[in-house]
Amino acid sequence: MLKKELIIDALTSTTKKDTLRELSRIIFQDNPQYDSEKVVNVLLEREKLGSTGIGDGIAIPHGKLAMLDELVVAFGRSPEGIDFNAMDGKPVHLFFLLLAPESSAGVHLKALAKISRMLKDADFRMKLLHAKSTAELYGTISDKDDSC
């Protein structure tokens, strides 16, 4: 689900909106025809329904976009942690951003469920937090994805 070039080893953002912007920009960096601010607005609208900060230092922001043909996933890590209004009130360090076509409810929900299952594993979360490089992050996520 995740391409290596859509991983941000160390997010520079310090707010929810800027984090969503930073993750959206990496997805659309090679597609300047897409307006990343519109993407951020879609994600913020979803956040109004309830924070996608699910606790344990994890957030899975997600949204649907008419402009997409397939599901896209980006990952970002914040060593310092970001206030994302998480359910447990703690800062978020690990972000999986999912963007799906408007017509793909099934794929979108399956991807959310799979990522949620992966992140229930405390050892997996620790490996992500302590990975030394983008390559190590990608390998850790790929290995876990293959085993789920």
Q: What are phi and psi of 109, to 5 degrees?
A: -70, -40
User: How many C-beta atoms lie closer than 10 Å to residue 38's C-beta?
Assistant: 12
CA distance readout (Å), 9 to 65, 73, 76, 134, 135 = 25, 15, 6, 6, 9
Question: Could you tell me which of 147, 69, 50 has the C-alpha nearest to residue 60?
Answer: 50
- Range 9-27 average pLDDT: 95
Q: Is residue 62 among the annotated active site residues?
A: yes
Could you give the number of structural domains in the chain? 1
**Contact indicator for 76, 84 with CB cutoff of 8 Å:** no
Separation of alpha carbons 64 and 100, rounded Å: 5
CATH number of the domain bearing residue 90: 3.40.930.10
Which pLDDT score, from 0 to 100, does residue 5 have?
94
Q: What are phi and psi of 2, to 5 degrees?
A: -110, 130
- Written as six digits, the tokens of 85 are 């209004």
Selected catalytic residue, list 62, 93, 108, 130: 62
Which pLDDT score, from 0 to 100, does residue 109 have?
87
Radius of gyration of the chain from Cα atoms? 14
Q: pLDDT tens across 97-126, in order?
A: 999 988 877 888 899 999 999 999 999 999
Identify which has the larger pLDDT, 76 or 1: 76
Question: Could you tell me which of 44, 109, 100 has the C-alpha nearest to residue 72?
Answer: 100
Question: Could you tell me which of 96, 84, 90, 88 has the C-alpha nearest to residue 124?
Answer: 96
pLDDT at 88 over 70: yes
| Domain span including residue 115 | 2-147
Which pLDDT score, from 0 to 100, does residue 33 have?
67
Which pLDDT score, from 0 to 100, does residue 94 have?
98
Separation of alpha carbons 79 and 19, rounded Å: 13
Residue recorded with tokens 């994805």: 145
Report the percentage of the chain scoring pLDDT > 90. Answer: 75
Q: pLDDT tens across 35-49, in order?
A: 788 899 999 999 999
Mean pLDDT of the chain: 92
**Which of 21-25, 36-40, 66-70, 104-108 is modeled with the greatest confidence?**
21-25
